[in-house]
Structure 1
Amino acid sequence: MSRTTNSSLTNALRILKSFSIDHPELTLSEIAEVVGVSKSTACRLIQTLESEGFIYQNMNFNTYRLGSSVLALSNTVVDQLAILKETTHFLKQLTAQTGESSHIAILDNNEVIYLKKEDSPYRVQLLSHIGRRNPAHCTASGQAILAFKKPTTIEKLFERDLGKVTQYSITSLPKLQQLLATVRTRGYSISKGEYIEGIVSVGAPIYNKKNQVFAAVSVAGPKKRMLPDLQKIVDNVVFTSNNITKYVQAHVKDVDIETFI
């Protein structure tokens, strides 16, 4: 494969990843800016993606959104991740016990992706959703997974930057390594306002049959509700992570788990 072809493929994939629930429709200029290419290059790539059904143009507003081909692929992925269907009752129970939103997330480079969510019954809820990406170093889910990666892996993941999201975010690699060592020892993570000020989250790792951490379960909510019952919430999150791990190790084939890694 030539360098030009490889570059075009990379940019096309970046275009697809630029869409999200927060930004479901984008203009040509916005796409070009996000991907870092000229408008003419972006237009050419969009035309190719559009011909294959991956992008659809809204002629009324001259914007673009993801097409039906993406939906077909996403349904295929969901079917492969059999564990997601089986973890619903675990999350429902965790949210019922804590009163807060619960999640299952995996690591993708230096970010976490939320694969499953059970909403809190409170009217005001978190700005989280399935498919959302958050920086791993300042979220409880991310820290719960990162804690079981090799220190050299952590260095590679964050060699460029430890982004400061709030005043409580960890911005030093040595401090992050120190925190992860603590998380690894106690078996859970607590993030207090590191990603969103005023929000506290608790996360615990989920293991596969090879005893490798491949995901995390977490609970997050306003600190005024989380802090008074923090230890109880920690116990519930750890209990849930242990139960999911037991289910995975007893019932889920390795091939299903490999999809997460």
Structure 2
Amino acid sequence: MERADTTYVVPPVVRAISLLRHVAAGNRCRNTSHTAKALGINRTTLIRLLATLEAEGIIEQIDEGGGYRLGTGLIALASEALNERSILQVARPFLKRLVDSLNLSAHLGVLEGREIVYLARETPNSHLASTVREGTRLPAHATTIGRILLAELPMASLRSLYAGQTLESFTSKTRTTLAGLEKQLHADRARGMSWSVANFEPEIGSAAVAVHDHQARAVGAINVTGHASIFADDSPHTERIERELKAAARAMSEALGYRGWSADQL
């Protein structure tokens, strides 16, 4: 749908939303005259808005004259909205845009134990298009989606996950010891993404960034894949791949309700 024409904007609704944002910012509206002045609305209108929003459960009064705070009705609405925006639903248009922009295959995957599961893919019209299908499982330690999601785990959880496990080698660049994997994940975490030049498959390169939800959990990751030469250090494409992949993951995370970006990530 196209964004609504401002000709059809309803001023009372705009005022109600402004009031909700005011309350959400921590303003309790104890002094209605001051609140009306801050919002630029009539005091009588403010009182009616407060009464209506309270009646609908969107805001609620705090005991002993403490003013107002957001109510459970609004929290329930927000929860329903977030439930409707599952990571799979949100991901597909972003994957499609990455394919159109970079002419690389793009995937969404989630972590399950020591494996990743691919949930979605988009591919370019190219003989180098990915053959990975939805539902494919691959070892997390050897793949970019797996690595960036493992990098989100606490160190104790990571060591428990791989305690006594053999890390299979797929190419000469695959980390096959827990110490080696930890070092790689530390670098991935510092960069904010994982990068591979034939770490899993010969002649295939890849890069992945985690996607976070409204509770700041890494609920999945997206990646792009193509010929290893495109991802090589001397490739003219690496900067653009990193920039666009991070931007897509950030936009996906925001669509899922995430607001936890630090200043250096924006």
Partners of 2:253 and 2:88 lie apart in 1 by 13
- Superposition deviation, residue 141 in structure 1: 0.5
Residue number in structure 2 paired with 1:68: none
- Residues 85 and 255 of structure 2 are in contact (CA less than 8 Å); yes or no, is this contact kept in structure 1? no
Partners of 1:80 and 1:195 lie apart in 2 by 35
- Residues 128 and 227 of structure 2 are in contact (CA less than 8 Å); yes or no, is this contact kept in structure 1? no
Partners of 2:241 and 2:128 lie apart in 1 by 19
Which residue identity lines up with residue 179 of structure 1 in the other structure? Q
Residue number in structure 2 paired with 1:239: 247
Residue number in structure 2 paired with 1:163: 168
Partners of 1:81 and 1:138 lie apart in 2 by 30
Residues 1:147 and 2:155 are matched in the alignment = no
Matched residue SS, 1:221: strand
Percent of residue pairs bearing the same amino acid type: 23
Q: TM-score, normalised by structure 1?
A: 0.63
Structure number, greater radius of gyration: 2
- Measured on the aligned residues, the alpha-carbon RMSD in Å equals 1.9
Q: Map Cα deviations across residues 64-88 of structure 1 (whole Å, 9 max, x no partner).
A: xxxxxxxxxxxxxxx9883312321
Which residue identity lines up with residue 221 of structure 2 in the other structure? A
- Superposition deviation, residue 224 in structure 1: 2.6
Long gaps (5+) in structure 2: 1-82, 259-266
- Residues 205 and 229 of structure 2 are in contact (CA less than 8 Å); yes or no, is this contact kept in structure 1? no
- Residues 100 and 121 of structure 1 are in contact (CA less than 8 Å); yes or no, is this contact kept in structure 2? no
Q: Map Cα deviations across residues 74-120 of structure 1 (whole Å, 9 max, x no partner).
A: xxxxx988331232111110111111000110001001101010012
Which residue identity lines up with residue 153 of structure 1 in the other structure? S
- Superposition deviation, residue 161 in structure 1: 1.1
Residues 1:123 and 2:123 are matched in the alignment = no
Residues 1:203 and 2:211 are matched in the alignment = no
User: Which of 178, 181, 196 is the matching residue for 1:176?
Assistant: 181
Long gaps (5+) in structure 1: 1-78, 251-261
- Residues 111 and 133 of structure 1 are in contact (CA less than 8 Å); yes or no, is this contact kept in structure 2? yes
- Residues 114 and 133 of structure 1 are in contact (CA less than 8 Å); yes or no, is this contact kept in structure 2? yes
Residue number in structure 2 paired with 1:101: 105
Q: Map Cα deviations across residues 22-78 of structure 1 (whole Å, 9 max, x no partner).
A: xxxxxxxxxxxxxxxxxxxxxxxxxxxxxxxxxxxxxxxxxxxxxxxxxxxxxxxxx
Residue number in structure 2 paired with 1:70: none
Q: Map Cα deviations across residues 136-163 of structure 1 (whole Å, 9 max, x no partner).
A: 1111111111101011211122221111
Aligned pair count?
173
- Residues 86 and 256 of structure 2 are in contact (CA less than 8 Å); yes or no, is this contact kept in structure 1? no
